[in-house]
Amino acid sequence: MTPIVPETAPWCLPAVADTHRPRVVLPAKSCDCHAHICGPFERYAYAPERIYTPPDATLADYRRMLTALGVQRAVLVQPSVYGTDNTAMLDAIAEGGSWLRGVAVVEPDIDSALLKKLDAAGVRGMRVNIVDRRARRNEIVLDELLPLARKIADFGWHLEMLLQADAVPGLAETCAQLPVDVVLGHLGYVHTDKGGADNSGFQALLRLLGAGRTWVKLTGPYRISAEELPYADLIPMAHALVQAAPERLIWGTDWPHVMMKKTMPNDADICDLLADWVPDEAIRHRILVDNPAALYGFAPTD
């Protein structure tokens, strides 16, 4: 049965199914730190308040793509279409095994018993998406966030926030008050047509990285670039992040690329962007292997 899709939650394009081999050879134990499992929709109902509707993007589909890339570890991030129902993600982690970790979305009043179950299931972080929502976009309410951050601190989790770094006043001050590390997606989500690496918000993000408790994901270049693949206009941003804090960077495909507004890329081409973003192989190894192992708690045998 096809789900009922309101006009305000349009269908997304599907990811490219035939992933070719990338030119860049990734090191063993490389980790895709940002991907979503969506569907099958017959089994996992989407939240009615969602703003998009993805086609099925299952664990089997995802595994085929990672095999083509040569990636052995991955982190599944709860997509906004499921709200706080993490079932699809948790089922995928349970099926996949120890090479998978998760970042969940939870209710503010969640208790320690449920957090403990999520931790045992492989969850290592909590996501707060303040971009893909209908109201209070890019607004952080510290009084609401702080109690939840204190709860997850007991489990050694981090807080992943999807926000536009240049649109959130006082981001550094907010992060300083949180008792957990903070992870920001999509190179800080500062659009290249708003100044890119010279944007004052991006420059503030570079300083925030230097403080030692904030991480940035090298993900979703098509979400911030004004160009098509290879998104060359954001190379200065990637270089600035690498220069500022290579020990605080991780990478991800952003598969299955929901809400794609440009030409759908082959994930091998997303992978090959690393050659320009991070030309030094030793630093690439750190970003692809060492940093994810530390942040998500992968064991050497995972």
Task: State how beta strands 214-218 and 182-184 pair.
Answer: parallel
**Does 233 participate in catalysis according to the annotation?**
no
Kindly report the backbone phi and psi dihedral angles of residue 214, in degrees, each rounded to the nearest multiple of 5, phi listed first: -120, 140
Task: State how beta strands 123-129 and 158-162 pair.
Answer: parallel
| Helices 87-96 & 59-69 angle (0-180, nearest 10) | 50
Kindly report the backbone phi and psi dihedral angles of residue 216, in degrees, each rounded to the nearest multiple of 5, phi listed first: -130, 135
Q: Side chain identity at 5, as an amino acid letter? A: V
* Gap between the Cα atoms of 128 and 152, Å rounded: 13
Q: Which candidate in 32, 166, 181, 254 is catalytic? A: 254
User: By the 8 A CB rule, do 231 and 263 touch?
Assistant: no
* Gap between the Cα atoms of 180 and 127, Å rounded: 12
Catalytic residues: 254
